[in-house]
Amino acid sequence: MPPLRSPVALPRPRTRAGLAGPQSDLVWLFDLDNTLHDCSRNIFGAIDSAMSDVMMQWLQLDRQNADRLRKDYWRRYGATAIGLERHHGIRASEFLEASHDFDVAPLVHAETGIARKFASLPGRKILLTNAPQRYARDVLKTLGILHHFEALWAIDHMRLQGRIRCKPSVAMLRQLLARLRVPAHRVILVDDTLANLRSARAVGIRTVLSHHPGTPHNARHHGRSAYVDMRVNRIGHLLTARRSNGLPFLAGA
């Protein structure tokens, strides 16, 4: 299988004194939307509106039909862009660029002190998002945590055999693990979407559910999810849990 495209590599942050040791071998895979920031408050609405605008223009649709098609492809494929590529020959990356072409900075909302908390979390950090790269970079920059990431894996890089393979693709996660050259049990995915965590567990990755009430699709999954190692409501909880040994899978991994 052809490899994934190379992610955007960022300069590695300096290792803080005192953080060396077994836990610094950990690799955190962080989702972006509704994990690192609250996307449901403003940004989802702006993206949905911009996507429908682009679809109206490119597919000659009225707003009602553009909205309907956008939601239909999102439900069927997990991303509207995939449906547009499969059924209309529109390059997903071009659609995503066009529909994320707005200033995100005034719309970003996140928990207080996220930059400080992020700096205290040991381990390598990689972004794993189905969003486009430029948008992801802008959000991380606004949050003040871009420099903590050694790489950004965006939807731009998730293409196998010519087709987009974004989360929750198991094939994509296997390729990612091969690229990381780290045992799966040393890798932790923090994500608000249960389907993504289920795939991660299928390849041996540890899982943290970043709960967000606005996350779609999660309601389909009832009861306790055996593939979720831990649930947090905010990033700061990762630090609290680590200090209180509430992350046994980190210590024992």
Phi, psi of 97 (to 5 degrees): -60, -45
Binding residue for Mg ion (CB under 5 A) from 7, 33, 128, 166? 33
Q: Which is nearer to Mg ion, 168 or 236 (CB)?
A: 168
What is the number of other CB atoms lying within 10 angstroms of the CB of residue 106? 8
Rounded to 5°, angle at Cα 26 from 78 and 168:
10
Under rule CB under 5 A, residue 130 binds Mg ion: no
Under rule CB under 5 A, residue 34 binds Mg ion: yes
Near Mg ion in 133-152, by CB under 5 A = none
Q: Of 184-192, 200-208, 225-233, 240-248, which part binds Mg ion (CB under 5 A)?
A: 184-192
Extended strands (E) in the chain: 8-9, 27-30, 124-128, 151-153, 159-160, 163-164, 187-191, 206-210, 230-232
189 and 208 Cβ atoms separated by less than 8 Å: yes
Q: Of 82-90, 158-166, 169-177, 186-194, which part binds Mg ion (CB under 5 A)?
A: 186-194
Binding residue for Mg ion (CB under 5 A) from 31, 38, 138, 229? 31
**Minimum distance from CB of 58 to Mg ion (Å)?**
26
3-state SS assignment for residue 137: helix
Q: Which is nearer to Mg ion, 122 or 236 (CB)?
A: 236
Distance CA 38, CA 167 (A): 19
Under rule CB under 5 A, residue 210 binds Mg ion: no
What is the number of other CB atoms lying within 10 angstroms of the CB of residue 229? 20
Under rule CB under 5 A, residue 196 binds Mg ion: no
CA proximity to 95, closest of 64, 52, 138: 52
Q: Which is nearer to Mg ion, 90 or 210 (CB)?
A: 210
Instruction: Supply the Cα-derived Rg of the chain in whole angstroms.
Output: 18
Q: Of 21-29, 143-151, 190-198, 239-247, which part binds Mg ion (CB under 5 A)?
A: 190-198
Under rule CB under 5 A, residue 38 binds Mg ion: no
Under rule CB under 5 A, residue 192 binds Mg ion: yes
Binding stretches for Mg ion (CB under 5 A):
31, 33-34, 192
